[in-house]
């Protein structure tokens, strides 16, 4: 799997997820087998670049592997400026977001709302590709509603204007995250373009990854919500695709050890006050995977210090 001049270690990629794929989580997923980990979505509005949230999202200290940064917006000039800014900050790939279905993003005609405006899609891609020397990729949905699946049209525009790889989530904007992803449109898009194609949506197991690759003809899969609390999904999928054999699930002790490392990195990266709050959702996802013993999640969410969270994980290992 190649994106421009970059060769990925494998074809299983961590999806960009706002509030989830920060630097600590990206490090962990690459360590556990992700061939690429894409950053959280960054606004093209320069007025927010100096906020603490944006600075954390732009952080690439000791970034594992290739640094891919996703940007979002609807103004071609601002998108080009954002691309330049993030390359200056260390981005090696710029990914354009035209897939986010969130209302607060779509009301600004950004994210998947752009799928209704093919001419503007072309202008944005042209501006960003011309602004930077690094590869530019694009993430879209299959369309803006089930009766308006225009993903193949957008894909063709992307290829014509220099996009180096395309990711397609198998739902429309109107579908949000409801129901099941459909892969027929991704298969149609594969027939329409020659650039690398990445399939996304409901890929949570090695078997599903193999099925989606075979059905769509995509070059890679992207895992999003399936990695929350389960970064081992990357090593499991890559092993299965390579050998046809399933790995055993991580032991409880390994889960707790990884939770502990992730927790300490969150405290260090964000500081205690913000780090312990962000840790709550990640630890909640992890413990659901091991049965949430003794309603550990509820207890953990009441803790108000970093040390108390560390002590709680130590206790968890003993029950």
Question: Domain 252-316 is in which class?
Answer: mainly alpha
Question: Catalytic residue positions?
Answer: 100
Q: Among residues 11, 247, 38, which one has the least CA distance to residue 139?
A: 38
Highest mean pLDDT among 58-62, 86-90, 132-136, 310-314: 132-136
Q: Give the pLDDT score at 108.
A: 67
Average pLDDT, the chain: 93
Question: Which CATH architecture group holds 2-243?
Answer: Alpha-Beta Barrel (3.20)
Q: What is the mean pLDDT of residues 8-18?
A: 96
Q: Among residues 241, 223, 221, 239, which one has the least CA distance to residue 231?
A: 223
Cα angle 156, 188, 191 (rounded to 5 degrees) comes to: 65
Whole-model pTM? 0.94
pLDDT in tens, 115-138: 999 999 999 999 999 999 999 999
Q: Give the pLDDT score at 194.
A: 97
Domain 252-316 in the same topology as domain 2-243: no
Biggest CA-to-CA distance, the chain = 59
For the cut 70, the answer to whether the pLDDT of residue 109 exceeds it is no
- The 3-state DSSP class for residue 2 equals strand
Name the residue ranges covered by the structural domains of the chain: 2-243, 252-316
Q: What is the mean pLDDT of residues 62-66?
A: 84
Rounded Cα distance, 98 and 96, in Å: 6
Cα 228 to chain center, whole Å?
A: 11
Q: Among residues 243, 239, 242, 206, which one has the least CA distance to residue 221?
A: 206
Q: Are 12 and 241 in contact (CB under 8 A)?
A: yes
């Amino acid at each position: 799997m190649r994106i421009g001049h970059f060769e990925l270690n494998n074809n299983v990629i961590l999806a960009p997820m706002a509030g989830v794929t920060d630097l600590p989580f990206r490090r962990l997923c690459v360590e556990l087998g992700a061939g690429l980990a894409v950053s959280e979505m960054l606004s093209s509005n320069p007025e927010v670049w100096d906020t603490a949230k944006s600075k954390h999202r732009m952080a690439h200290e000791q970034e594992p592997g290739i640094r891919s940064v996703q940007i979002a917006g609807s103004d071609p000039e601002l998108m080009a400026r954002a691309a330049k800014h993030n390359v200056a900050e260390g981005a090696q790939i710029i990914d354009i977001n035209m897939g986010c279905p969130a209302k607060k993003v779509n009301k600004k005609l950004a994210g998947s709302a752009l799928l209704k405006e093919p001419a503007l899609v072309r202008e944005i891609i042209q501006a960003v590709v011309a602004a930077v020397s690094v590869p530019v990729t694009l993430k879209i949905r299959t369309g803006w509603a089930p009766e308006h699946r225009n993903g193949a049209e957008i894909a063709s525009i992307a290829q014509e204007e220099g996009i180096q790889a395309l990711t397609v989530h198998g739902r429309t904007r109107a579908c949000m995250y409801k129901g099941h992803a459909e892969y027929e449109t991704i298969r149609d898009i594969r027939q329409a373009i020659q650039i690398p194609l990445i399939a996304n949506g409901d890929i949570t197991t090695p078997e599903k990854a193999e099925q989606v690759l075979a059905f769509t003809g995509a070059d890679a899969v992207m895992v999003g919500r399936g990695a929350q609390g389960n970064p081992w999904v990357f090593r499991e999928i890559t092993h299965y695709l390579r050998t046809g054999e399933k790995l055993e699930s991580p032991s409880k002790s390994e889960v707790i050890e990884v939770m502990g490392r992730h927790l300490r990195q969150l405290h260090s990266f964000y500081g205690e006050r913000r780090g312990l709050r962000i840790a709550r959702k990640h630890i909640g996802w992890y413990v659901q995977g091991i049965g949430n013993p003794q309603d550990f999640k509820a207890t953990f969410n009441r803790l108000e210090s970093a040390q108390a969270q560390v002590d709680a994980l130590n206790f968890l290992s003993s029950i």
